[in-house]
């Protein structure tokens, strides 16, 4: 008998840039012995670096390929970390209504050091003010799809993983 916690799959992480979706998703999947999919990473594998896609083809095109990758990922029995803007797509929000979704939140103060050095095209100009404006525009979308909300600002990755396994444990 494995003593790995069992969680219902797919288990989906949403939230703004820098909230910890990739880091928490990876750790959660490893802890639960589940596959991990990061849709940003899958897009980059197939189509090239995300900042280059934005620069070359624009955001609208990015959202089309993002939707394809997200739709495929949500059909897999995996921990799935979505890109920050994936919830903008109506079909993705419809899919998420039927799945276990965790909204990782983070304060403006806590996210500042986490964003340092990243390659995030939407906040390349505008920095933290732009990050806050994007979050406010999307807040109702995250709220609409979330089954569990966790403020990660002052919480370790390990504690966040425990919070999630506590809420969604024993469903596999």
Per the annotation, where are the binding residues for ATP? 18-23, 120, 155
Task: Note whether 114 binds ligand ATP by CB under 6 A.
Answer: yes
Angstrom distance (rounded) from CA 40 to CA 3: 30
Nearer to Mg ion, 22 or 132 (CB): 22
Q: Which strands make up the sheet holding 100-105, listed edge to edge?
A: 36-38, 79-81, 11-14, 100-105, 148-151
Size of the site for Mg ion (CB under 5 A): 2
Q: Which stretch binds ligand ATP (CB under 6 A): 27-35, 89-97, 142-150, 153-161?
A: 153-161
Per-residue b or e along 76-91, where b marks 16 or more CB atoms closer than 10 Å to that residue's CB: eebbbbbbbbbbbbee
CB count in 10 Å sphere of residue 155: 17
Binding characters for ligand ATP, 57-86, by CB under 6 A (x = yes): --------------------------xx--
Q: Which of 22, 31, 132, 153 binds Mg ion (CB under 5 A)?
A: 22
**Which residues lie across from 157 on neighbouring strands?**
none
Q: Report what 152 binds from Mg ion, ligand SKM, ligand ATP, none; CB cut-off 5-8 Å by kind.
A: ligand ATP
152 binds ligand ATP (CB under 6 A): yes
Question: Cβ neighbours of residue 92 under 8 Å, at least 6 residues apart?
Answer: 67, 70, 71, 74, 82, 86
When asked if residue 39 is in the footprint of ligand ATP (CB under 6 A), the reply is no
Identity of the residue, 5 or 42, whose beta carbon is nearer to ligand SKM in the bound complex: 42
- Pick out the residues of the known binding site for substrate: 40, 63, 84, 138
Angstrom distance (rounded) from CA 116 to CA 102: 24
Residues that bind ligand SKM (CB under 6 A): 17, 40, 50, 83-85, 120-122
Residue closer to Mg ion (CB basis): 6 or 134: 134
């Amino acid at each position: 008998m494995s003593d790995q916690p069992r969680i219902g799959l797919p288990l989906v992480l949403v939230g703004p840039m820098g909230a910890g979706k990739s880091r928490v998703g990876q750790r959660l999947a490893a802890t639960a012995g589940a596959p991990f999919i990061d849709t940003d990473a899958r897009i980059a594998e197939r189509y090239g670096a995300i900042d280059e896609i934005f620069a070359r083809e624009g955001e609208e095109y990015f959202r089309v390929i993002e939707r394809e990758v997200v739709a495929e990922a949500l059909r897999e029995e995996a921990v799935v970390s979505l890109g920050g803007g994936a919830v903008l797509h109506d079909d993705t929000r419809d899919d998420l209504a039927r799945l276990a979704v965790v909204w990782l939140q983070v304060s403006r103060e806590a996210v500042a050091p986490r964003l340092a050095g990243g390659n995030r095209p939407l906040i390349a100009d505008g920095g933290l003010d732009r990050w806050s404006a994007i979050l406010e525009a999307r807040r109702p979308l995250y709220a609409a799809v979330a089954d569990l909300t966790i403020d990660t600002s002052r919480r370790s990755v390990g504690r966040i993983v425990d919070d999630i396994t506590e809420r969604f444990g024993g469903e596999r």
